[in-house]
């Protein structure tokens, strides 16, 4: 009875995940959807703790102290981390949590493997036999099923790749880890992947040979220590592979990578579902695996690139592609003073603001909104041009500007914005770089060639606020800064905006 | 061949679930506006935290004196919970910003 209640709980959990995800893809219901999925998750977790019974032995779970201790620590730390993190660091946080999930899946595989190794890779099944009128219990020893072994390995490999990759993505997003690539890295990666798969197949084959399921096949002796050592080699290689996989991919492509690793972790969770024949893990995992993969592709589409191109193209692998575009003679750029900027903007008819990561770093969204209101009060039409991948994640800018109460109607998507630039007097670029780089259209050698950009050079004046002349995240120079129309306004976005507001008020 | 067919019929329930879930996953987020890509990714991230259930099962089945398994399982539970709780809370914080917009 209890166990069938658990089945019902899992069913409810699975449905909340699906509906929650559905609601998350609509702005009006997104928040409720998130809580619905969270409620389903809570139900499934506590249902498992109290109602789970082992299939064969019918035993309940024990070690409650350990379980609740772990839940408590995880919940408190997770809550604090999620509450305290700054809006700008959100993407890193998602990557970090994703890595935790991957590590969790890998650990489950690790424990299960050790458990099976301990039992000599045999399942003892107690089966009830009807012998005449009596019911006898016979203990059968069966070799572990191939499916179980495959699932353990899949969970281990995918989980640890996802964990290691997410940690690197996290480090890259907060600037602790620099891009690193060497010649022939893709070949090394592929060899490594082949080695991981080859070793796994070998280990599974070895185990099956030793505890073959068919009775007539002679059981070969099995060196458990050797097999376990190979298992740990697979674990180690998978971790290294995860690192090498993300290492050469440039910071600008991290959102895509995180989304991809997110779907990896989903598949790793689904492996756990196979292992325990647990439907809620299976549905949740596969759901995220599929949705995550589609989301990854959608993100790539927003940048007009294919997934393969992102993974192999090694954006910002600096030495070749990036250098080629940037090593041309650059000419001089001109700076503009704050008071000049104030004058130009106040007497403009239409101003478009192009926000980028710099705005997020400086937390300048409120100052930006203030500038917008001030200019509007002086009769200037102000709009925002949002590139789909501005910032570190799609939608990053929308979230930030929404935080500052900028109204939806003011946010122009790329296509609309590009239609408006020719009639715009001043474009103010706030900490954006690659999304306004004309090289994406003109220079086939550029690593961002083909990415749709905001055609800010169509406007009469372009004012670019940056902290320095350093290239953007893709690691390439931007010709826009050297065009005669463009003026540079150096400084931290928030400080510059505040000073600019003061200047305009003084006019 | 025979083994493959047997495997197929033994696991048909799971195979049906996998195939249907793939389509549901694709269908459900097919029309998401790009504004919501980040929160959606974060929400999906929290949902795959369902792996915590596996961790709980592993933990609960471990022998009380098998310390390596207990410690690894404990770690798995902590990490899984981090994924779930952190994931949902971060997603909510992102979505909070949208709410003030909706009049």
Which among A434, A443, A455, A479 is annotated as catalytic? A434
Q: Which burial class, exposed, middle or buried, applies to A77 when counting CB atoms under 10 A from its CB (0-12, 13-18, 19+)?
A: middle
Residue A310 predicted with pLDDT over 80: no
Q: pLDDT tens-digit profile of A12-23?
A: 999 999 999 999
Decide: helix, strand or coil at residue A329: coil
pLDDT, average across residues A243-271: 88
For the stretch B47-66, pLDDT in tens is 999 999 999 999 988 888 88
Asked if B93 and A49 come within 8 Å (Cβ–Cβ), the reply is: no
Does residue B39 sit in the same domain as residue B59? Answer: yes
Are residue B92 and residue B79 in the same domain, yes or no? yes
Mean pLDDT of A379-405: 80
pLDDT surpasses 60 at A316: no
Reply yes or no on whether A215 is catalytic. no
Kind plus residue range of the DSSP H or E element containing B59: helix B51-61
pLDDT at A328: 43
Token pair, residue A111, equals 């424990």
Task: Give φ, ψ of A461 to 5 degrees.
Answer: -130, 140
pLDDT score, position A317: 41
Backbone Cα Rg of chain B: 19
**Cβ(A466)–Cβ(A501) below 8 Å:** no
Give the nearest partner residue to A111 out of B28, B72, B102, using CB atoms.
B72
What angle, 0 to 180 degrees and rounded to 10, lies between the N-to-C axes of helices A396-403 and A90-118? 120
Position A63 scores a pLDDT of 87
B41 and B21 belong to one structural domain: no
Residue A472: which residues within 8 A CB-CB, separation 6 or more? A252, A357, A432, A433, A434, A437, A478
> Which has more pLDDT, A334 or A330?
A334
Burial A487-497 (b: 16+ CB within 10 A, else e): bbbebbbbebb
Instruction: Report residue A326 as tokens.
Output: 């940037």
pLDDT of residue A406: 85
A-B Cβ pairs (cutoff 8 Å, strict): 378
Predicted confidence at residue A96, as pLDDT, reads 94
On the CB side of A498, CA atoms within 13 Å amount to 8
| Mutant choice from B18, B23, B24, B47 vs A, greatest count of A C-beta within 10 A | B47
Report the distance separating Cα A307 and Cα A310, nearest Å.
5
Over residues A345-374, the mean pLDDT reads: 88
- The per-residue pLDDT for B48 is 94
CA angle A267, A270, A273 (to 5 degrees): 165
Query: ∠ CA B12-A204-A198 to the nearest 5 degrees?
Result: 105
- pLDDT (mean) for A18-46: 92
Is A378's pLDDT higher than 50? yes
Which residue range forms the structural domain that includes residue B8?
Answer: 1-31
* Residue A180 DSSP label: -
Residue A285 has pLDDT above 90, yes or no: yes
**Which residue reads 């195939």 in tokens?**
B19
Q: Say if residue B25 is in the same domain as residue B52.
A: no
pLDDT at A401 over 80: yes
At residue B103, the pLDDT reads 38
Residue A389, token pair as written in the block? 């991948």
* Domain regions of chain A by residue span: 88-313, 327-506
Q: Identify the pLDDT of residue A175.
A: 79
Rg (CA), chain A: 28
Nearest Cα neighbor of B44 from A262, A16, A399 is A262
Give the residue, A180 or A419, on which the prediction is more confident: A419
Using DSSP, state whether A172 is helix, strand or coil.
helix
In this structure, the answer to whether residues B70 and B23 fall within a common structural domain is no
| A219, A207 contact by CB (below 8 A) | no
Most confident segment among A211-215, A388-392, B98-102: A388-392
**B86 and B63 within one domain:** yes
> What is the rounded CA–CA span in Å between residue A506 and residue A377?
14
pLDDT given for residue A101 in this prediction: 95
How many angstroms separate the CA atoms of A430 and A354, rounded? 6
Q: What is the pLDDT of residue A446?
A: 72
Looking at residue A130, its pLDDT comes to 61
pLDDT at A259: 92
**Number of structural domains in chain B:** 2
Chain A nearest C-alpha distance from B70 (Å): 8
> Please, are residues A390 and A397 in contact by the beta-carbon 8 Å criterion?
yes
* Neighbouring C-beta atoms of residue A349, cutoff 10 Å: 12
Contact B37 A295 (CB under 8 A): yes
Q: Which helix (H) or strand (E) holds A490?
A: strand A486-490
- CATH 3.30.43.10 at A327-506, yes or no: no
Q: Does the reported pTM lie above 0.90? A: no
Convert the pLDDT of each residue in A53-107 to its tens digit. Answer: 877 777 888 889 999 999 999 999 999 999 998 777 788 899 999 999 999 999 9
Do residues B14 and B52 both lie within one domain?
no
User: Do B45 and B85 belong together in one domain?
Assistant: yes
DSSP state, residue B62: S
Averaged pLDDT for residues A245-256: 81
Interface contact flag, A30 B98, Cβ < 8 Å:
yes
B11 contacts chain A (CB < 8 A): yes
Residue A325 binned pLDDT confidence (cut-offs 50, 70, 90) = very low
The DSSP annotation for A271-293 comes to HHHHHTT-HHHHHHHHHHHHHHH
Residues A443-467 have pLDDT tens digits of 777 767 777 888 888 888 899 988 8
Residues 6+ apart with CB under 8 A from A323: none
Average pLDDT over residues A356-370: 85
Contacts of A265 in chain B (CB under 8 A): 45, 48, 51
**B62 to chain A, minimum CA–CA distance in Å?**
8
Residue contact A25–B31, C-beta within 8 A: yes
Chain A residues close to B32, C-beta within 8 Å: 24-26, 295, 298
Is the pLDDT reported for residue A27 higher than 90?
A: no
């Amino acid at each position: 009875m209890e166990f069938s209640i658990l089945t019902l709980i899992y069913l409810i959990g699975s449905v909340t995940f699906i509906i929650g995800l559905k609601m998350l893809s609509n702005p009006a219901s997104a928040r409720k959807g998130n809580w619905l999925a969270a409620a389903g998750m809570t139900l499934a977790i506590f249902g498992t703790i109290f109602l789970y019974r082992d299939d064969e032995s019918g035993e309940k779970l024990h070690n409650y102290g350990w379980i609740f201790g772990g839940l408590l620590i995880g919940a408190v730390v997770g809550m604090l981390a999620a509450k305290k993190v700054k809006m700008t660091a959100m993407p890193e946080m998602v990557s970090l949590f994703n890595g935790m999930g991957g590590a969790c899946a890998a650990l489950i595989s690790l424990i299960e493997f050790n458990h099976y190794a301990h039992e000599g890779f045999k399942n003892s099944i107690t089966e009830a036999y009807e012998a005449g009128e009596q019911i006898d219990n016979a203990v059968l020893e069966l070799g572990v099923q191939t499916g179980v072994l495959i699932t353990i390995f899949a969970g281990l490999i995918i989980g640890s790749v996802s964990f290691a990759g997410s940690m690197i993505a996290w480090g890259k997003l907060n600037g602790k880890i620099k891009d690193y690539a060497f010649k022939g890295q893709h070949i090394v990666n592929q060899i490594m992947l082949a080695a991981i798969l080859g070793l796994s197949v070998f280990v599974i084959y070895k185990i099956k040979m030793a505890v073959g399921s068919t009775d007539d096949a002679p059981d070969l002796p099995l060196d458990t220590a050797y097999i376990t050592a190979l298992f740990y080699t697979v674990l180690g290689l998978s971790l290294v592979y995860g690192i090498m996989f993300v290492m050469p991919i440039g910071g600008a492509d991290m959102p895509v990578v995180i989304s991809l690793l997110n779907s990896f972790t989903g598949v790793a969770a689904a492996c756990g579902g196979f292992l325990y024949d647990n439907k809620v893990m299976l549905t949740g995992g596969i759901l995220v695996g599929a949705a995550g993969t589609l989301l990854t592709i959608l993100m790539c589409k927003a940048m007009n690139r294919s997934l393969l191109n992102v993974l192999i193209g090694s954006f910002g692998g600096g030495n070749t592609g990036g250098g080629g575009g940037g090593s041309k003679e650059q000419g001089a750029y001109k700076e503009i003073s704050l008071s000049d900027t104030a004058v130009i903007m106040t007497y403009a008819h239409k101003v478009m603001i192009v926000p980028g990561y710099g705005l997020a770093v400086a937390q300048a969204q409120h100052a930006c909104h203030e500038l917008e209101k001030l200019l509007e009060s002086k009769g200037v039409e102000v709009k925002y041009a949002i590139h789909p991948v501005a910032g570190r994640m799609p939608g990053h800018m929308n979230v930030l500007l929404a935080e500052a109460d900028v109204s939806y109607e003011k946010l122009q998507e790329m296509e609309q914005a590009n239609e408006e630039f020719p009639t715009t007097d001043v474009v103010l670029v706030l900490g954006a770089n690659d999304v306004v780089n004309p090289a994406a259209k003109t220079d086939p050698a550029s690593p961002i060639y083909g990415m749709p950009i905001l055609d800010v050079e169509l406007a009469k004046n372009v004012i670019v606020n940056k902290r320095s002349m350093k290239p953007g995240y893709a690691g390439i120079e931007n010709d826009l800064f050297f065009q005669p129309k463009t003026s540079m306004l150096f400084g931290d976005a928030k400080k510059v905006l505040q000073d600019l507001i003061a200047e305009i008020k003084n006019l | 061949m025979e083994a493959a067919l047997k495997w197929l019929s033994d696991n048909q329930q799971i195979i049906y679930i996998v195939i249907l879930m793939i389509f549901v996953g694709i269908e459900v987020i097919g029309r998401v506006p790009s504004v919501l890509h980040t929160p959606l990714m974060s929400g999906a991230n929290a949902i795959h935290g369902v792996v915590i259930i596996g961790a709980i099962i592993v933990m609960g089945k471990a022998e009380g004196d098998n310390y390596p398994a207990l410690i690894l399982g404990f770690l798995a539970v902590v990490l899984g919970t981090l994924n779930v709780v952190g994931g949902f809370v971060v997603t909510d914080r992102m979505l909070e910003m949208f709410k003030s917009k909706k009049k």
